[in-house]
Amino acid sequence: MPSFASRALVSFALVAALTTALSACASETDATPSVTNTAPTPTSTKTSTPEPTATQAPISVGSPVTIGCNQLLSPEAIYAFNPNFGLSESFTPEPGSEAATIVEAKGLACGWVNQTSGEALTVAVANLPTDKLTDLKNNFVTTSNSVPTYDVEGYFEYDGTRGSAEAFSGPYWVSAVSPAFFEPGDAQPIIAAALAGLGG
């Protein structure tokens, strides 16, 4: 074989070998897997739960109070308290008030309005089980002031705008609220008349 042909064959063999080696290197490089984090990000399945509050739970039980407003507080009793007050036929308890709570418990809530000043008087009564009455009394002990002059277990609180009188007799809770009540004695005639209307 001529020497020229031998050199060509050798050169060709070297080129082929070099090409094979480079290809192998490239394959190794390409075959190196890339590391990616495909693990799903953990998500919280915990839902937020409102913290319990110290607010007294709504009273939803009670026996119906079947008397009317003029029996709870007679026109004569209202006149003796203040002749300017008249029964409101369109009275609706203020949401969140004691009267609204009493209505939810199947009680009676009534409203009177001073025809001169526009002041309101709200009187409400509920007939409740002993355990509910005990809960209410315990609540008023810590949030109001005891009033022994009501002749029954009673409480009074003035918030700077109106006074709230609460009285308990037998199964009954009587609540009276008005801007006309500045001190316990102001509400005493209304509480006494309401208890008398209930037969107490």
Predicted model pTM: 0.71
Among candidates 166, 162, 161, 172, which has minimal Cα distance to 190? Answer: 166
Instruction: State the Cα–Cα distance between residues 93 and 103, nearest whole angstrom.
Output: 8
Domain edges within the chain: 69-197
Predicted confidence at residue 200, as pLDDT, reads: 66
Domain 69-197 class, CATH top level: alpha beta
In the chain, the amino acid numbered 177 is V
Predicted confidence at residue 57, as pLDDT, reads: 52
pLDDT tens over the chain, length 200 residues = 444 334 433 343 333 443 343 344 334 444 444 444 444 444 444 434 333 333 345 567 899 999 999 999 999 999 999 999 999 999 999 999 999 999 999 999 999 999 999 999 999 999 999 999 999 999 999 999 999 989 899 999 999 999 999 999 999 999 999 999 999 999 999 999 999 999 86
Q: How far apart are the first and last CA of the chain?
A: 139
Residue 69 contacts residue 125 (beta carbons within 8 Å): no
Residue 172 DSSP SS3? strand
Predicted confidence at residue 61, as pLDDT, reads: 84
Instruction: State the Cα–Cα distance between residues 7 and 200, nearest whole angstrom.
Output: 132
- Containing 191, the helix (H) or strand (E) segment is helix 184-197
Q: How far is CA 3 from the centre of its chain?
A: 105
Among candidates 194, 181, 183, which has minimal Cα distance to 151? Answer: 194
DSSP 95-160: TTSHHHHHHHTT-EEEEEEETTT--EEEEEEEE--HHHHHHHHHHHHHHSEE-GGGSSEEEEEE-S
